[in-house]
Structure 1
């Protein structure tokens, strides 16, 4: 794979998680962001731990197929590693990340990677969708929607989550996160996120879920969601939830 000349958030996160699937341009961007803000590695490890607890809870409810949007690099504790008996379709819109993901998953018959725009489920290859998320629309699945809400305005986010609700079968689950206003006092870091980046106060998160019903855990800082023992001592940069589409 040729080395890209632009950094990728997905590969920067891989670097922060201690992975091996990133390039010097990603490391440089990650270091620059750390200089402007600080505890990136700890925060993204906490978010990845939330992903693990969330998908395990969904699998424990009997779900064995997952559709992942904005998947990034499929390593370092991602869905197919946490629930190896499940089938998983990872999707993203970045062609470099997709090619990397396809290379990493080339030997797997339970996890695939393809193009998918979270705001338009019709962009996913139907053959891939039905291969790796069998029964999509007819039996419960897990939808993973992490790292995306901050780049969608309220109307687009609400519409997208409602369309996923319509498409998923009753009994399905949604794992989702939201960016808090943590970066508001770090103008240099905030500038690096670009004009599309949206922070929201915690009170804004539940209404955006629409018809999805959060579990009794609610929408809480990701370090606090079903954690065992004391939560990780990280800033509340991300809030998360697992929500359901009721069966009746």
Structure 2
């Protein structure tokens, strides 16, 4: 039996790697187990830049949240929020109301512990593919007013949904609920301009329970249907509105994921 902490739900299989917990490990977090660490170390041995990919994605999320706040957003729905590593939305935007959503029990359990004293943030245990459960959850109804603009964050999630038609249907359902002025923020893995080791990482994930799909820039643009893309459009995450030259790596394409945001007019 792998290591298990007292607060971990008993139904969680800590002997199988979880995408959320592997991501936590790659970001330097501690909410992961031996199976997650073994999988992550194997992935790093194939593609040593993988921790950088995750860090750049996290930096993109923070910049996108600040951009939303600067444009009047005071409430966020963060779907696929993962484990509460440093720089979560309620830390970047402390005056905002935030509903986190994840289907990973460890992420939900720890988030509930972290947010138990907060009256401005909550966690919902649900799946991206079940919009009605998310939109009608008591926590969502309590904290979010869908008559006002919302920042909808779906960051580093959609590459785990293999059915592109389903992705588009689900995004359309969320879009229907959003008021004009709302933002959609996405990031997504791609193989465009990537080293062969990136394809090897995809193959590794696809031999695990955490199967993934990569999509092209054009396919990512299509996912933003109904939203007016914010400049600079769909770009590798370090190129999305960097706040300093120091943030921009020499080879931004090595970040491996596209970042994008759009506003509902």
* TM-score higher than 0.5: yes
Q: Deviations 1:166-222 (Å, cap 9, x if unpaired)?
A: 111111001101211166723542222117411122222212221122112211111
Report whether the alignment pairs 1:240 with 2:256.
no
Indicate conservation of the 8 Å contact 2:124/2:137, yes or no. no
Q: Deviations 1:43-66 (Å, cap 9, x if unpaired)?
A: 111000000000010011111110
Report whether the alignment pairs 1:210 with 2:225.
yes
Q: CA deviation at 1:161?
A: 1.4
Pick the aligned partner of 1:163 from 147, 167, 173: 173
Report whether the alignment pairs 1:75 with 2:91.
no
Partner of 1:185: 196
- Equivalent residues in 2 for 1:87-166, closer than 5 Å: 87-124=97-134, 125-133=136-144, 135-136=145-146, 138-152=147-161, 153-166=163-176
Note the residue ranges of structure 2 that are not aligned, 5 or more in a row. 1-6
Pick the aligned partner of 1:222 from 237, 240, 249: 237
Report whether the alignment pairs 1:19 with 2:38.
no
What SS does the aligned partner of 1:191 have? Answer: helix
- Equivalent residues in 2 for 1:29-40, closer than 5 Å: 29-40=39-50
Out of 139-148 and 156-165, give the one that drifted further: 156-165
The 2-side partners of 1:52 and 1:103 are apart by 22
Q: CA deviation at 1:239?
A: 0.4
Where has structure 1 moved over 4 Å in runs of 4 or more?
none
Q: Deviations 1:2-34 (Å, cap 9, x if unpaired)?
A: 482222221222222222322232222211111
What SS does the aligned partner of 2:245 have? Answer: coil
Note the residue ranges of structure 1 that are not aligned, 5 or more in a row. none
Indicate conservation of the 8 Å contact 2:202/2:213, yes or no. no
Indicate conservation of the 8 Å contact 1:173/1:245, yes or no. yes
Q: CA deviation at 1:90?
A: 0.6
Out of 233-242 and 36-45, give the one that drifted further: 233-242
Indicate conservation of the 8 Å contact 1:169/1:245, yes or no. yes
**TM-score when scaled to structure 1?**
0.91
Q: Deviations 1:83-115 (Å, cap 9, x if unpaired)?
A: 111111110112222112212222222211112
The 2-side partners of 1:80 and 1:68 are apart by 10
Out of 224-233 and 59-68, give the one that drifted further: 224-233
The 2-side partners of 1:53 and 1:64 are apart by 15
The 2-side partners of 1:7 and 1:110 are apart by 32
Indicate conservation of the 8 Å contact 1:75/1:81, yes or no. no
